[in-house]
Amino acid sequence: MSNIRGRFAPTPSGMMHLGNAWAALLAWLQIRKQNGQFVLRMEDIDGPRCRPELAEQALADLRWLGLDWDEGPDVGGPYAPYTQSERIHLYGAAMEKLLQSGQLYPCYCSRAELHAIASAPHGLSAEGPAYPDTCRLLTAEERQERQVHKDPSLRFRTDEERPILFNDGIAGIQHFPPGAGGDFVVRRADGIVSYQLAVVVDDAAMGITDVLRGGDLLDSTPRQLMLYDALGLQAPRFAHIPLLLGEDGKRLAKRHGDTSLAGLKAAGVRSEQIIGWLAYLAGQLERFEPVAASELIHCFDLTRIPTESITIHDTLMKRLFN
């Protein structure tokens, strides 16, 4: 059996849509082509935004597309549980390790103060403006004084001397300057653990070797690589696929029509139409034609996937719907 392990990790805060299907299909094909193990993980760590019924719907939608998984919330596996809300103790242990090594510090900045930073130049485009180290430089006395008025978040102290360099499987060589994006939050003031920390802990614990995900997360990779290094964990290989955009240049969403998988199914669209359409966009088919996901495994080629965002014109959408 191959030691290649990949995953798809949806957040059950909304209905699965074409953008989710795009990432899920390509991540699945990458691993199945290499006879690897494919893991499904539910990233529901932000409890107020996530709903159990949406998690169930996501499983149903993926099965309708013809995708399967070797480990997951419904089938179990050696690294269970596969739902983030049941893995909180693992994130706590990681934060304790980072605290002991001096990598974390409390941040007392209010939302208003952080909003004011928004006018500053962005360090990482998808991650917002770089944090200006306001609380990094506080003395013990100043921290104690602020603690009286506000519960702090916890920020990771980035390395300000070493640049981040990695080879992305689709985007190519990526170079980020030292401290890219500034110090970042790993636990919010309300106690919710950040995506950055949770995804690193989970991917490492589950032995994930290959992560294929949307290009909007490319800028998150430097921060995650810093966490892998600080925790002494092995980082996976990364490949970031281009985003699907509407004609207005914005990410494909409800404003471009009902792009939810459940909605398309209800409208009579067959899953093979969606798979064939996405495979065509990904350069895996020379022309658009209905096809089952399993039929694409033998010919899948990561190098054929475009590197630039893909604009979905209305005429192309109509080819899917008709």
* Residue 215 near residue 245, CB atoms below 8 Å: no
Calpha distance 28→32 (Å, rounded):
6
- Contacting residues for 123 by C-beta, under 8 A, at least 6 apart: 129, 130, 179, 180, 181, 182
Angle at 96 between CA 91 and CA 98, to 5 degrees: 95
Q: Do 269 and 321 touch, CB atoms closer than 8 A?
A: yes
Pick the closest to residue 65 from 303, 261, 304, 286 (CA basis): 261
The residue annotated as part of the active site, out of 150, 254, 265, 318, is 254
Q: Is the dihedral of CA 274, 12, 188, 103 positive or negative?
A: negative
The yes-or-no answer on residue 254 being catalytic is yes
Collapsed DSSP state (helix, strand, coil) of residue 250: coil
The CA distance from 281 to 289, in Å, is 11
Distance, CA of 106 to chain centre: 25
Cβ(319)–Cβ(288) below 8 Å: yes
Residues catalogued as catalytic:
254
